[in-house]
Structure 1
Amino acid sequence: MAPLSLLLCFLGSLSLCSAYASAAATLHLDGELPNGHFEESPSSSNLKKTVIVGKHSLPKWEIDGIVEYITGGPQPGGFYFPVPRGFHAVRLGNEASISQNVNVNPGSVYSLTFGTTRTCAQDEVLRVSVPGQSAEISIQTLYSSDGGDTYAWAFKATSKLVRVTFHNPGIQEDPACGPLLDAIAIKEIILPQKYIRGNLVKNGGFENGPHVFKNFSTGVLLPPKSLDQISPLPGWIIESLKPVKYIDRKHFSVPVGFAAIELVAGRESAIAQIIRTIPNKFYNLTFTIGDAKNGCHGSMMVEAFAAKETQKVPYVSQGKGGFRTTSFKFQAVSPRTRITFYSAYYHTKFHDFGHMCGPVLDNVIVFPSL
């Protein structure tokens, strides 16, 4: 998906049209997995209350262990399970999993986007894996209070068929607890091969990223590098303890283009890129910050680092959208220069103190100083 590129193509850029057509020809996957929203239900004969009976009873999926088929809303025992993207979800009991085989192109990079939330007030972990690659993602911290947390995890295909598995490793004290899954999609990630003229930063506008659900989105959380060596955001490194959030123009205020990054966890969420530079040469770093028009308010501060230079950029947010662009000069000290951004403060929504949020970063540009 590249709506900005497609628009520019329509405006008359023949070379861009050709590039877009070439990319589209190789982009085989960008959408939900079969029954990825779990709205195709097991037959009533394969349900024991909410527990699915039979390995192949959940359409398009293979299950192992105690997997429950959940209808969103009030639950027995006083629980409430939000299912914001539809009516149904699955809950994984201790050591339970769901799997599906997916046809892919060997050597290509793919990103899985999945909606998940914890169902008990204790640490819960969701393991996502394909053969030879896996990550255990903690879902203890809730970044949205309406059950809308969405994560992306990337992998490199090593064969024509991969088995995608979501597993509860069973660390909960209460075996009745377990992560809830309500939507799963996949997207082939096109890796940037060349720099855009006038910018030494790859994917500086964050236009190339994971699948975003169309009908409902609270943004897509991108895990830190320690959990995902292959970033679902090409060119960038999530080098912090907590994730950053990928947001899109349809659901948020985005300064430039289709997408941007929201720094949702203060100093615990940072994003970086290593660019090529010439030692002792001066460069300009330009970037845009703002708010996502999502009720995130307060005095914000984005700190930017490049070589030995640091810039602190304030922004007072009313939570209603808006942005400012800033720049500073730095001198490279080596052939590789790391540029890093993070939020100095923690923020929550104005009317929802359980919803973590932060300043928006977009349109990062580095170019030689004259």
Structure 2
Amino acid sequence: MADGTSSRCIALLLLLAMAARADSVVTDGLLPNGNFEEGPSKSELNGTMVTGRYSIPNWEISGFVEYIESGKTQEGMILAVPEGARAVRLGNDGTIRQRLSVTRKTYYSITFSAARTCAQAERLNVSAAPESGILPIQTLYTSSGWDSYSYAFKARHSTVWFTIHNPGVEEDPACGPLIDSVAIKTLHRPHRVKGNMLKNGDFEEGPYIFPNSPWGVLVPPMDEDVVSPLPGWMIMSDTKAVKYVDATHFAVPHGSYAVELVAGTECALVQEVSTLTDRTYKLSFSVGDAANGCNQPLVVKAYAARSSLEVTYVSQGMGGSKRAELEFAAVSNLTRVVFQSMNHYMKPDGTLCGPVVDDISLVSVHKHAARRLFM
């Protein structure tokens, strides 16, 4: 009797422990097996192709999914892995997904690394129901072949399925992007601080950046009703992105984070703000370079209402910034503040770069005549 009671108690404790683990809320950093270092057993591999739906610990797969070890070659191309020794490749209709325990009504960002292989127009469908988005990955922003991308969602329920899917169908079913290092971060909804009508004007709130990643995180284009990985801001483009950079690896004008405009006029950083048509406002911001070798004159154009200002920062590629101001008269009750890089810039290694913007503020100056100032 005692042994039976003891066994039941142990079983109950194990069930409670499992339930507690299932209900635990995700914390900032890598998802469980987010770097895919735990892989399938040899019996669950056909060459590099994963044969079992649950063969990769913590992940569920479907379609054509390969388990890749760093250094594998395909048609003379070396498939490098950015972190650790292993990654996955999503071939034709390949999907990986993981169930996450989250807090309802909370905003989250996902950061993951991806690299193109042999498909021509690679893109990824990323979703955390009901939100979903298409991330274009045709443009390469680093010399390593890998870029980190961000995606954001609002949790509608206490659990969500986070999914990365390759919708492509290639003649070679193995052609598709490599995926590695999937992490999550809780986003705090931005609020306006005293002396600034803009939200998150210093970009201190944004997607997760891997501690050892030297290339920042791309914030891709999004529809206006999609949750932004860069709270308060929208990225307006067809296929291009802006880069979220940190002070650990880049020169940042103010605080710990900034945005590098790496796509020229094909992409804009935008925020909408409530204004009054009988008032004049002053938009102040910093323009600089990220100390990443982008050593040329960098031009940013700022727009607000019917006013605009071009600011040139002559970069030596070593960091540094300057302040600029634009005064404008509001013409409606909603004004878009817009920043664009006016040219495409490249580093000596041929990768894209651009001006950094940071420390953006907007205040009412209670005047009626608009004028432009440059400092």
Aligned-pair CA distance for 1:28: 5.8
Count of paired positions: 341
Classify the secondary structure of the residue corresponding to 1:127.
strand
Pair 1:357-2:357 in alignment = no
CA contact (8 A) 1:270 1:340 kept: yes
CA distance in 2, matches of 1:64, 1:120: 20
Partner of 1:12: none
Residue 208 of structure 2 corresponds to residue 244 of structure 1: no
- Structure-to-structure mapping, 1:272-287, within 5 angstroms: 272-287=270-285
Q: Residue 136 of structure 1 contacts residue 227 of structure 1 at CA under 8 Å; is this kept in 2?
A: no
Equivalent-residue separation in structure 1 for 2:319 and 2:340 (angstroms):
19
CA gap 1:136/1:173 in 2 versus in 1, 3 angstroms: farther
CA distance in 2, matches of 1:227, 1:367: 24
Give the structure 2 partner of residue 178 of structure 1: 176
The alpha-carbon deviation at position 227 of structure 1 amounts to 8.8
The answer on whether the counterparts of 1:271 and 1:342 sit within 8 Å (CA) in structure 2 is yes
User: Are 1:141 and 2:110 matched, yes or no?
Assistant: no
Q: Which of 108, 112, 130 in structure 2 is aligned with 1:110?
A: 108
Q: Which consecutive unaligned segments of at least 5 residues does structure 1 have? A: 1-26
- Do structure 1's residue 200 and structure 2's residue 200 form an aligned pair? no
The code of the aligned residue for 1:51 comes to: M
In 1, Cα distance between the equivalents of 2:119 and 2:175?
9
CA contact (8 A) 1:34 1:60 kept: yes
Rounded to whole Å, the distance in 2 between the matches of 1:29 and 1:307 is: 41
Question: Which one is further off, 168-177 or 272-281?
Answer: 168-177
CA distance in structure 2 between the partners assigned to 1:63 and 1:173 by the alignment: 21
Residue 217 of structure 1, CA deviation: 3.5
Residue 364 (structure 2) aligns with: 368
1:49 aligns with 2:47: yes
The Cα of 1:146 is off from its aligned counterpart by 0.5
In the TM superposition, residue 263 of structure 1 has moved relative to its aligned partner by: 0.4
CA distance in structure 1 between the aligned counterparts of 2:55 and 2:41, rounded to whole angstroms: 7
The code of the aligned residue for 1:308 comes to R
Normalising by structure 1, report the TM-score: 0.88
- Does 2:229 match 1:232? yes
Q: Is 1:215 aligned to 2:226, yes or no?
A: no
Looking at structure 2, the residues matched to 338 and 227 of structure 1 have their Cα atoms a distance apart, in angstroms, of: 12
Gap change, CA 1:228 and 1:92, over 3 Å in 2: farther
Q: Are 1:135 and 1:228, in contact at CA under 8 Å, matched by a contact in 2?
A: no
Residues 228-259 of structure 1: per-residue CA shift (max 9 Å, x gap): 71111111111222111111111111110010
1:246 and 1:109, CA in 2 relative to 1: closer, same or farther beyond 3 A?
A: same
1:107-151 C-alpha deviation (Å, 9 max, x unpaired): 111111110111115111111112222122121111112023111
Aligned to 2:7: none
CA contact (8 A) 2:26 2:100 kept: no
Q: Does 1:321 align with 2:319?
A: yes
Q: 1:62 aligns with which of 55, 60, 63?
A: 60
* SS of equivalent to 2:270: strand
Residue identity in the other structure for 1:93: G
Q: Secondary structure at the match of 2:302?
A: strand
Shift of 1:298: 1.6
How far does residue 74 in structure 1 lie from its aligned partner after superposition? Answer: 4.5
Does structure 2 conserve the Cα–Cα contact (< 8 Å) formed by 1:96 and 1:169? Answer: yes
Distance 1:301 1:308 in 2: 19
Displacement after TM superposition at 1:275 (Å): 1.3
- After superposition, the C-alpha distances for 1:7-50 in whole angstroms (9 at most, x for unaligned) are xxxxxxxxxxxxxxxxxxxx963111101011112222222221
- Does 45-54 or 359-368 show the bigger shift? 45-54
Shift of residue 300, structure 1, vs aligned partner: 1.2
Tell me the amino acid that sits aligned with residue 359 of structure 1: P
Pair 1:320–1:228, CA change in 2 (3 A): farther
Conservation of the 8 A alpha-carbon contact between 1:148 and 1:217: no
Letter paired with 1:198: G
Q: Distance in 1 between matches of 2:292 and 2:162?
A: 33
- Indicate the larger mover: 230-239 or 169-178: 169-178
The one-letter amino acid paired with 2:54 is H
- Matching residue of 1:266: 264
**Equivalences for 1:29-108 in 2 at 5 Å?**
29-108=27-106
In the alignment, the residues of structure 2 paired with residue 42 and residue 180 of structure 1 have an alpha-carbon distance, to the nearest angstrom, of 17
Unaligned runs of 5+ in 2: 1-24, 367-375
Q: C-alpha distance in 2, partners of 1:286/1:218?
A: 27
Cα gap change, 1:58 to 1:28, in 2 (>3 Å): closer
* CA–CA separation in structure 1 for the residues paired with 2:274 and 2:154: 25
Q: CA RMSD in A?
A: 1.6
